[in-house]
Chain A
């Protein structure tokens, strides 16, 4: 059963507008969340993280919001740029397992239109 879900496989946004990527999870014990960006034929690169004790983290154009009661996090990109076009994965740390294992969502392909 998928513990981390990204229900939108794709998203198109006009350049300069806001991109909002969503992620839902089922395990309330997840304690750390990450967003990664992936270009074709490359490995994922780290974007931004958030601890479960916070509800917001901001880094430049990227902001991640965490709603623990809804088990939902979102990534906001403002303003969106064509270079942001990539697949975005959210990931949740399975801390209760005692390892540093992250569980990844299925990804959302973002296309920013010039």
Chain B
């Protein structure tokens, strides 16, 4: 069964901490994405990557960075966590073409 795995289901971090969210896919997909989901705002794209070491900003990249050193792994980094980054974070991947995304189970991050 193909999978996108996010390393943590729930995280609680303190304001100012550097936070790493990890995502691994086993489908050999080139394209990977990080979204956050907030009530009333839907899914908003933070960053995406279409190849190893390549990255592009999405709609809300401020306060975030990403790393893609290997094809299967796409990491989201909160440089200095703030309370307004409390959210559900979703990683997704796709092979492209007419295929949609496969999502991970999500990481519920709370910043206190």
Contact = CB atoms under 8 A, between A and B. Distances in A.
Interface of A: 6, 9, 32, 34, 36, 41-46, 49, 51, 89, 91, 99-107
A9 B50 CA distance: 32
B17 to A, nearest CB: 23
A95 B9 CA distance: 31
A32 B96 CA distance: 12
Q: Interface extent on B, as a size class?
A: 20 to 34
Nearest to A38: B37
Contact of B100 (A6, A43, A49, A99): A49
Interface of B: 4, 9, 31, 33, 35, 40-45, 48, 50, 56, 58, 90, 92, 94, 96-98, 100-106, 108
Contacts, number: 61
Contacts of A43: 4, 90, 92, 103-106
Nearest to B43: A104
A66 B110 CA distance: 38
Interface centre among A9, A49, A100 (most CB of B within 10 A): A100
Nearest to A47: B100
A51 B98 CA distance: 8
Nearest to A98: B50
A9 B41 CA distance: 10
Contacts of A42: 105-106
Nearest to B99: A100
Given A43-B106, A99-B50, A101-B48, A32 B42 contact: no
Given A41-B106, A43-B90, A43-B106, A106 B41 contact: yes
